[in-house]
Amino acid sequence: MAKPNGNVLALPPTQSSFPRATPTDLASQPVNRQPRKRERQIINLSQEQCTVMELTAGGAQLGMTLIGKIHEHANQTFEETTAFIVDTRSRPGRDEEHQAYIDQFSLSQVQLCAQQMLAVIDVGATGIGREIHRSLYPSPDEQADGFWARLFSRRED
């Protein structure tokens, strides 16, 4: 429940002990005044940093969504594959020795399928993570390489 003065967190009001000597925000500047060169550089840099942060956040959100889709697909594929293996394993008409071989082979198939699916999930998620982690301020080498060269290179970063 809110305090009578509207301060939900019951925190004291914030006050600066330092007086403002001059206005520091851009809104306090005269409208017709053109920003100085250094001010333009700072404004441009700030806009660039905001863009980079927004794109980084968007990339992270997209990456998480895509990793989730990889897991969903792996689950569905594993379910379908194991259902097929179990159906094949349980077909009637085999003698005891033949069924023992089928049982062992089927068990190995399910285990191998699980290992391979998990490995593919790991590789896919790691690749997405690398792209998320890639700096939006690329080095000169990365600028020269381009997307397709990065994608198909065997270079370890």
Query: Domain map of the chain by residue range?
Result: 35-152
- Residue 134 CB contacts under 8 Å (≥ 6 apart), including other chains: 142
C-alpha angle 94-95-101 in degrees, rounded to nearest 5: 80
pLDDT in tens, the chain (157 residues): 555 566 777 777 777 666 665 555 656 666 677 878 999 999 999 999 999 999 999 999 999 999 999 999 999 999 999 999 999 999 999 999 999 999 999 999 999 999 999 999 999 999 999 999 988 887 776 666 666 776 667 655 4
